């Protein structure tokens, strides 16, 4: 299947000009989901065909009456399985929640998407309880990355189905989450764009948490502009086109600490090629030490925030349904059981100090630039029954992205590989609150680094 390259802007233009309709877009997405030769059965945990068709027909009538809630009304998007959608069960990719009561209301971020007229096509598959960067799910299957699909490579996690729904045209944008890279890793492994916003900008209500300290809700889509649009809706901000920054004069810092360790050769080649292109166009690139990144390993030595906060949320459920958890997930959650209250207080204090040092160090620069992921997507078959291989690949998948969550920052991943090559992502990152600047920088370099 050829990748779907339509953007939210191009689809909105087609809807406005009458070249397509919301119903036609939904029918097309549903057909791709139902394709027996495709990834639909592994990409979606629940498909709301009836609801999507009804919403699409409503948006077509509103558009005909010049009353569409936004120019994007009627465009189908997917929702990660951990968000509440009224009347549906939020399983979070697990069997342990399959008999939970249906949600009585939409999560705020879902309600905002619906209010803008986006059509919710279905709930996407994910790593159980969002606790891995690879994308494997033993309960509902693992959707394959579009790269060498006949071989079968991981899609990245935890928003695995979110990314594949976009690459395969089963949705035209996706709502995901990012606690340690769960929007950016699948974006990098599937060759699309993923954005992790400043966590405080978007309410976390109505979502199954992994770590309420590190969680953030973000978009996966086909372009920077698509992510800008979805992010504005998520944050309940006006939808405004981003102005690309000129590459000439950009001040970009490459952190040499941790982020460049143990890179796969294909990642090194793509990353250095992207840096060369940026430098040739006048970007000022400096390689700097980042001791705060070294401190993250010590911070997480006992499991960090994720295991402590996940254990607090899961302990009652585990007491009843431990046998229904993915063993690779529950073992990570249980690490939080051994953390003391004093350990947790130390985490909070140490993180504040690390963030302060990080923000002071990067202040002279427009952004940090580094590989999104240290490796290219591993083969699914190599990880299913090999815990050691799984553990190593998971650490290398999460490492770079999780640094930014720990620093309370924001970041975007852009595809930089050549067509046909293994997918590689380039991450631009900044301190918390610099979301708009990161979007402007990304928009300025997007076409350059993709070529």
pLDDT at 1 (0 to 100): 63
Averaged pLDDT for residues 164-188 = 98
Averaged pLDDT for residues 336-363 = 97
Sorting pLDDT into bands at 50, 70 and 90, what band is 134? very high
Sorting pLDDT into bands at 50, 70 and 90, what band is 2? confident
Percent of the chain topping pLDDT 70: 100
Q: What is the model's pTM?
A: 0.98
What positions carry a catalytic annotation? 80, 158, 182
> Is a pLDDT exceeding 90 seen at residue 308?
yes
Averaged pLDDT for residues 205-212 = 98
Percent of the chain topping pLDDT 90: 99
pLDDT at 416 (0 to 100): 98
pLDDT at 185 (0 to 100): 99
Domains of the chain: 1-288+370-451 (3.90.1300.10)
Inter-residue long-range contacts of 47-54, CB under 8 Å, 24+ positions, other chains counted: 47/121, 47/122, 47/123, 48/85, 48/88, 48/120, 48/121, 48/122, 48/123, 51/120, 52/26, 52/76, 52/119, 52/120, 52/121, 52/122, 53/23, 53/26, 53/27
Instruction: Count Cβ atoms below 10 Å from residue 245 Cβ, excluding itself.
Output: 18
Beta pairing partners, 6: none
Averaged pLDDT for residues 115-125 = 98
Average pLDDT over the chain, rounded to an integer: 98
What digits encode the pLDDT tens for the residues 5-48? 999 999 999 999 999 999 999 999 999 999 999 999 999 999 99
Beta pairing partners, 139: none
pLDDT at 394 (0 to 100): 98
Averaged pLDDT for residues 360-367 = 98
Averaged pLDDT for residues 170-177 = 98
pLDDT at 3 (0 to 100): 79
């Amino acid at each position: 299947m050829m990748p779907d390259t339509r953007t939210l802007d191009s689809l909105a233009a087609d809807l406005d000009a009458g070249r397509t309709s919301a119903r036609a877009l939904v029918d097309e997405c549903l057909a791709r989901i139902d394709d027996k030769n495709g990834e639909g059965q592994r990409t979606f945990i629940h498909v709301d065909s009836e609801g999507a068709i009804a919403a699409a027909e409503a948006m077509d009538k509103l558009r005909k009456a010049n009353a569409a809630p936004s120019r994007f009304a009627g465009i189908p998007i997917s929702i990660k399985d951990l968000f509440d959608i009224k009347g549906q069960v939020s399983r979070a990719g697990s069997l342990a929640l399959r008999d939970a009561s249906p949600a009585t209301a939409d999560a705020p971020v879902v309600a905002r998407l619906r209010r803008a007229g986006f059509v919710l096509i279905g709930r996407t598959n994910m790593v159980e309880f969002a606790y891995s960067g690879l994308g494997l799910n033993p309960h509902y299957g693992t959707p394959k990355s579009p790269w060498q699909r006949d071989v079968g490579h991981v899609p990245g996690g935890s928003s695995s189905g979110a990314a594949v729904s976009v690459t395969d045209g089963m949705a035209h944008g996706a709502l995901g989450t990012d606690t340690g890279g769960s929007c950016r890793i699948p974006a990098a492994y599937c060759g699309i764009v993923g954005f992790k916003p400043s966590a405080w900008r978007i309410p976390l209500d109505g979502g199954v948490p992994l770590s309420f300290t590190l969680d953030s809700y973000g978009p996966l889509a086909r372009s920077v502009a698509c992510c800008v649009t979805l992010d504005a809706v998520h944050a309940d901000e006006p939808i405004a086109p981003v102005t690309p920054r000129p590459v000439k004069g950009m001040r970009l810092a490459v952190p040499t600490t941790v982020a460049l360790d143990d890179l796969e050769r294909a990642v090194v080649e793509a990353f250095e090629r992207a840096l060369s292109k940026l430098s040739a166009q006048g970007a000022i690139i400096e390689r700097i030490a980042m001791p705060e990144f070294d401190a993250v390993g010590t911070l997480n030595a006992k499991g960090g925030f994720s295991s402590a906060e996940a254990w607090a949320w899961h302990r009652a459920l585990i007491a009843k349904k431990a046998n229904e958890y993915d063993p690779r997930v529950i073992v990570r959650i249980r690490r939080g059981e051994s953390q003391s209250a004093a350990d947790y207080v130390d985490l909070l204090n140490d993180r504040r100090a690390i963030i302060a040092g990080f923000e002071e160090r990067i202040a002279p620069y427009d952004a940090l630039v580094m590989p999104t992921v240290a490796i290219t997507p591993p083969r699914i078959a190599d990880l299913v029954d090999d815990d050691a291989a799984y553990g190593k690949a998971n650490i290398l998948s999460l490492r770079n992205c999780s640094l930014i969550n720990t620093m309370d920052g924001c970041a975007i991943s852009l595809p930089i590989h050549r067509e046909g090559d293994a997918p590689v992502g380039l991450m631009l990152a900044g301190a918390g609150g610099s979301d708009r600047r990161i979007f402007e920088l990304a928009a300025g370099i997007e076409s350059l680094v993709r070529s």
